[in-house]
């Protein structure tokens, strides 16, 4: 049965580097912006004031899908609100989940 795990520290993701790369190779239309390497650079430069929430789906104790998300403060008509969103910066492509598409 699949299980989902949440990782909140960038240094804890290194243990999944090889599996992440393999999932990326299986991801249709994958880009650099879905890689762990991009997320590490993003986090180093823009992570301050955000909370990392990387959801990893495990099947048979192996990562089957990875979805990097962040909680960040955004301006709204009601003032500042916290939003769960893809990590991105002013116009950079957002990331999508990495892993094979299954129907």
Q: What is the pTM of this model?
A: 0.83
More confident residue, 70 or 96: 70
Question: In total, how many domains does the chain have?
Answer: 1
Q: Is residue 90 part of a domain?
A: no
Q: Facing residues of 53 across strands? A: 69
More confident residue, 103 or 52: 52
pLDDT at 85: 87
**Range(s) of the domain holding residue 31:** 3-85
pLDDT at 102: 54
Q: Is residue 102 part of a domain?
A: no
Q: Is residue 28 part of a domain?
A: yes
Q: Is residue 92 part of a domain?
A: no
Q: Is residue 33 part of a domain?
A: yes
Task: Answer yes or no: is pLDDT of 31 > 90.
Answer: no
Tell me the average pLDDT across 52-68. 94
3-state SS record for 5-69 = EEECCHHHHHHHHHHHHHHHHCCCCCCHHHCHHHHHHHHHHHCCCCEEEEEEEEECCEEEEEEEE
């Amino acid at each position: 049965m699949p299980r989902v795990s949440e990782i909140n520290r960038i240094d804890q993701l290194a243990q999944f580097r090889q599996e992440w790369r393999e999932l990326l190779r299986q991801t249709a239309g994958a880009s650099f912006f879905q890689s762990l390497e991009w997320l590490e650079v993003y986090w180093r430069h823009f992570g301050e004031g955000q909370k990392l929430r990387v959801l990893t789906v495990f099947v048979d104790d192996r990562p089957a899908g990875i979805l990097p998300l962040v909680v960040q403060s955004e301006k709204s008509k009601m003032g500042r609100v916290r939003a769960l969103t893809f990590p991105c910066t002013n116009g950079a492509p957002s990331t999508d989940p990495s892993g094979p598409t299954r129907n």
